[in-house]
Amino acid sequence: MSVYLDNNATTRPLDSVVEAMLPLLQADYANPSSMHRAGQSVRHRIESAREQVAGLIHAEPKEIVFTSGGTESINLAIRGVLTPQPARRHLITSTVEHSAVRQLATQLAREGYQIDEIGVDRAGRLDIGELVDKVKDDTALISVIHVNNETGVIADVKRVCEVAAARGVRVHVDAVQSAGKVALDVRDLPVSLLSLSAHKLHGPKGVGALYLRRRTRLTPIVYGGRQEGDRRPGTENVSGIVGFGVAAAEAASLPLETIQRIRHLRDDLEARVRAAIPIAHVIGGAADRVCNTANIGFERLQAEALLILLSERGICASAGAACSSGSLEPSHVLQAMGIDPQVAHGAIRFSLSRFTTAEDIDQAVVVLTQVVERLSARVV
C-alpha cells in the first residue's frame, strides 16, 4: 500500500463528491442551457454548486465564474482585467509564483506589457517594501500567490491589498493552494479577483472558479456562447461543477481539529527527519506556513534520485511543483529564496491531507531514512 504525500499536486476526491457527480454523468445529462425541464433541473444543480463555492470564501454566488481549473482562472483574471485598462501596461507579480502566472507574464512582456517581480526573503516571505517602491501610476494589477505550492509559505495578502488600495490598483490572488486549508473571507480581504481549483481540495480535476468582485471589469479570453454571465463561454462541466460544490461545502465545514491534526503530522515528519538525517534542511520553516506542506532539502543529493527510490518503496512525494518535474535545475521558488544550490537540488515536497495518518508518517520516515543513507553512500 503506497503512502500518498503529494496532495499539493492533487487530492483524492471525497466519496461524497463522486456520489454527487455520478448522476450527472448518467441519468441527468441534459444541457443546462436547454429550456426544457431536464435542462433546467441541471441548471439548478450548477447554481446550487455556485452557492457552495461562494460560501467557501464568503462571496456572493454571482461573483463566482466557473472555469476548467486554476490555470484558466489565473489567465482569465490577469488578461481579463488588463484588457479593459489600455492606458495601464504595468503588471506586478512575485518571484515565487506558479507557472500559470509566470508563463503568462512572459507572454505579456512579449506583447509590450512591463512586468515587475517583487522578491522574497530566505524564508519565502514577500518583500512588501519592494512592492511599495514598484507600484506606479500605470500599474494595472498586482497578482500574488497566497500559499506557495512548493513551500507552503503564506503571503501577507492583506498587506499587499493595503499597498494596492493606497494607489488604486486591483489585486488578484492565486488561492489554489490556500482554499480549504486557510480561512478565506473576501468580505475582509479586499481583493478584486481570486482563483480556485477543485482538485486541490478533494474535488474533481478539470474544474475551477474565479471570484470576481462586483463592479470589476473583466474581458473574456474565450468567445462563444453566453454561459457564466458572458464571462466564460462553453457548455459547462456540470458533473465537475457539482463535485466542486460538494468539495467546497465539505472544506468550509472542516473542523479546526482536522487542520491541527494535519499540522501536527507535518511537524512530526519534519522533526523526525531532521533528527534522523543530519543533511536534512526544512525550507521555509521560519515563515508562517499552511498546515500540510513540508519542503525538505537533502544536502548534496538529487531530488530525482530520491523520488525514484521513494516511489519504488511506495512513498509518493514530489520535487517542487508537479508541473515542473523532470527539470534538473532547482525550482525558481528555491532560487528566489536564495537556498544553497547543494540543498535546493535535493529538495523534496511532502504534502499531507485529511486522509494522512500517523502510520503514513511512520512509514515515510523509515523509508526516507533508508533511501538517504543509500544515496549518501554513493556521494564522494
What is the four-CA torsion angle of 38, 43, 45, 48, rounded to 10 degrees?
-150
Chain center to CA of 344: 21
> Using CA atoms, how far apart are residues 26 and 114, in angstroms rounded to an integer?
49
Picking from 54, 62, 49, the residue whose alpha carbon sits closest to that of residue 17 is 49
One-letter amino acid at 84 equals: P
Q: Which H or E element spans position 263?
A: helix 256-276
DSSP symbols for 291-347: TTEEEEEETT--HHHHHHHHHHTTEE-BSS-GGGTT-SSPPHHHHHHT--HHHHTTE
Residue with cell 463528491: 17
323 catalytically annotated:
yes
Identify any residues that bridge with 91 across adjacent strands, giving them in sequence order: 115, 141
Q: Which H or E element spans position 194?
A: strand 193-197
Residue with cell 500605470: 138
Sheet containing 347-351: give its strands across: 280-283, 293-298, 347-351
Determine the straight-line distance between the first and last CA of the chain, rounded to whole angstroms. Answer: 34
Give every CB contact of residue 71 below 8 A, 6+ residues apart in sequence.
100, 208
Catalytic residue chosen out of the listed positions 161, 291, 316, 323? 323
Active site positions, annotated: 323
